[in-house]
Amino acid sequence: MPLLSNIENEYAGLIKDDSLSPGLIAIRDKVMQEQRISDEDALLLFESAPLSFLSVLADTVRTRLNGNKTFFNRNFHIEPTNVCIYDCKFCSYSRLIKHRGEGWEYTMEDMLNIVKSYDGKPVTEVHIVGGVMPQYDLDFYCTLFRKIKEHRPDLHVKALTPVEYHYIFKKAKVTYEEGMKRILESGVDSIPGGGAEIFHPEIREQIAADKCNADQWLRIHEIWHELGKKSNATILYGHIEKYTHRVDHMRRLRELQDRTGGFQTFIPLKFRNKDNQMSHLEESTVIEDLKNYAVSRIYLDNFPHVKAYWPMLGRSMAQVAMSFGVDDLDGTIDDTTKIYSMAGAEEQKPAMSTYDLVTLIKNAGRTPIERDTLYHELKDWSDHSFDEDTVYRGYVELPILN
């Protein structure tokens, strides 16, 4: 059958006509012919596609875009505060101002000291995101970014989401356009994908009522892309949303990406239910997680990458996810984020050495490629031999000697 010619033989039996409904056959043919699937197709995949079928299609798209490569980077996070004026129902990490004594609020000096603690270490990115508080305003952040860049110009600053930007621009009485220009000038290199949650107001108003809405989130990314810069996008799934809301979320992203091309990576974030106001909900099954990666990969044909964020998903599932469309695992992280450990993720001290990441990727049969934040390939680690003792001690990433 010509349509199957670019599929490995082992896959062919899984997607033959006699085992599929006409709707799934039509979707298979579209994907094989590199045509875009519709919203209705995505819904049908969520509702009725067998997992093996999703794996084949997602892996086909992944291979087309990224071959056998799986990307990772060497990074750390700074979470300026976990005190927050907002009260998102899924958030286990934040504390309201009236309970600020239970949280942390870093000063500028604290954060610069964190950056300095990585002096001489082979990290390429700092990811900065946290709660929203009045003292962290536009001037504060612009000064912080400038000082980080003065100290270490080569460190990629991936910072703040439209949730923070919307708040700080409003407080500073500047337009989104002026605000984004200012943060660009002060040293931000790219924007992470957080704060997207679920765009549809039916759900957003129930789980994240007060913060920026979908149009504001999308507009801030659009302005950033118009400035020639890159960003990521997330979805927080597996709680009260329905498949239609997930498809609606991806449709809005796909449409914006058609206009700007500024998104690099789509990052599905699985709702974790410990110690938050939605703890009564069960978490999605691992099968649902794989399904979600696969449908995302197939639907978002204009997104170059799909990331499995391993601190949220766990290491073994991140390995499996690479057969469901995922080609990126994020980074070493070095135990510098608390968002997922506080929400019940298995990784209570999320840190992987380069050795850990490379081994994990190789053991899943993929080619480990170290990247920078903008997906420039820094090194193919396939044939690198490690001396474990010199590479990994505790949670500290030590310089690697070739």
Question: Positive or negative CA dihedral for 34, 38, 42, 48?
Answer: negative
CA atoms within 13 A on the CB side of 184: 17
Q: Binding of ligand SF4 at residue 272 (CB under 6 A)?
A: no
Write out 302-358 in H/E/C secondary structure.
CCCEEECCHHHHCHHHHHHHCCCCCCEEEECCCCCCCCCCCCCCCCCCCCCCHHHHH
Residue 316 in tokens:
């073994």
Provide the minimum distance between the beta carbon of 395 and ligand V47 in the complex, in angstroms, as a whole number.
18
**Residue of 74, 127, 211, 252 that binds ligand SF4 (CB under 6 A):** 211
What pairs with residue 230 in β-bridges?
190
Letter for the amino acid at 72? F
Distances in Å between the Cα of 384 and the Cα atoms of 359, 398, 401 are 10, 16, 10
User: Cα separation of 205 and 67, whole Å?
Assistant: 40
Residue 131 binds which of ligand SF4, ligand V47, none (CB < 5-8 A, kind-dependent)? ligand SF4
# of chain residues touching ligand SF4 (CB under 6 A): 12
Q: Binding of ligand V47 at residue 195 (CB under 6 A)?
A: yes
Provide the minimum distance between the beta carbon of 296 and ligand V47 in the complex, in angstroms, as a whole number.
14
Q: Binding of ligand V47 at residue 91 (CB under 6 A)?
A: yes
User: Cα separation of 364 and 347, whole Å?
Assistant: 19
Residue 27 in tokens:
């979707």
Q: Binding of ligand SF4 at residue 333 (CB under 6 A)?
A: no
Q: Binding of ligand V47 at residue 92 (CB under 6 A)?
A: yes
Q: Binding of ligand V47 at residue 343 (CB under 6 A)?
A: yes
Subset of 6-45 contacting ligand V47 (CB under 6 A):
none
Provide the minimum distance between the beta carbon of 56 and ligand V47 in the complex, in angstroms, as a whole number.
27
294 and 55 Cβ atoms separated by less than 8 Å? yes
User: Cα separation of 86 and 83, whole Å?
Assistant: 9
88 and 208 Cβ atoms separated by less than 8 Å? yes
Q: What are phi and psi of 95, to 5 degrees?
A: -125, 140
Provide the minimum distance between the beta carbon of 232 and ligand V47 in the complex, in angstroms, as a whole number.
3
Question: Positive or negative CA dihedral for 318, 271, 134, 160?
Answer: positive
**Strand 125-128 to 75-78 pairing:** parallel
Site string for ligand V47, 302-341 (x = CB under 6 A): -------x--------------------x--------x--
Cβ proximity to ligand V47: between 80 and 192 the closer is: 192
Q: Binding of ligand SF4 at residue 243 (CB under 6 A)?
A: no
Q: Which residues are annotated as a binding site?
A: 84, 88, 90-91, 197
Stretch that binds ligand V47, among 130-138, 232-240, 285-293, 319-327 (CB under 6 A): 232-240
User: Cα separation of 203 and 223, whole Å?
Assistant: 25
Q: Binding of ligand V47 at residue 293 (CB under 6 A)?
A: no
Q: Which residues are annotated as a binding site for [4Fe-4S] cluster?
A: 84, 88, 91
Site string for ligand SF4, 69-108 (x = CB under 6 A): ---------------x-xxx--x-xx--------------
Q: Binding of ligand V47 at residue 193 (CB under 6 A)?
A: yes
Residue 132 binds which of ligand SF4, ligand V47, none (CB < 5-8 A, kind-dependent)? ligand SF4
Q: Which of 112, 349, 381, 380 is nearest to 391 (CA)?
A: 381
Provide the minimum distance between the beta carbon of 174 and ligand SF4 in the complex, in angstroms, as a whole number.
20
**Residue of 138, 267, 300, 317 that binds ligand V47 (CB under 6 A):** 267
Subset of 131-160 contacting ligand SF4 (CB under 6 A):
131-132
What pairs with residue 380 in β-bridges?
369
- Footprint of ligand SF4 (CB under 6 A): 84, 86-88, 91, 93-94, 131-132, 163, 208, 211
- Footprint of ligand V47 (CB under 6 A): 90-92, 192-195, 197, 232, 234, 236, 267, 269, 271-272, 276, 309, 330, 339, 343
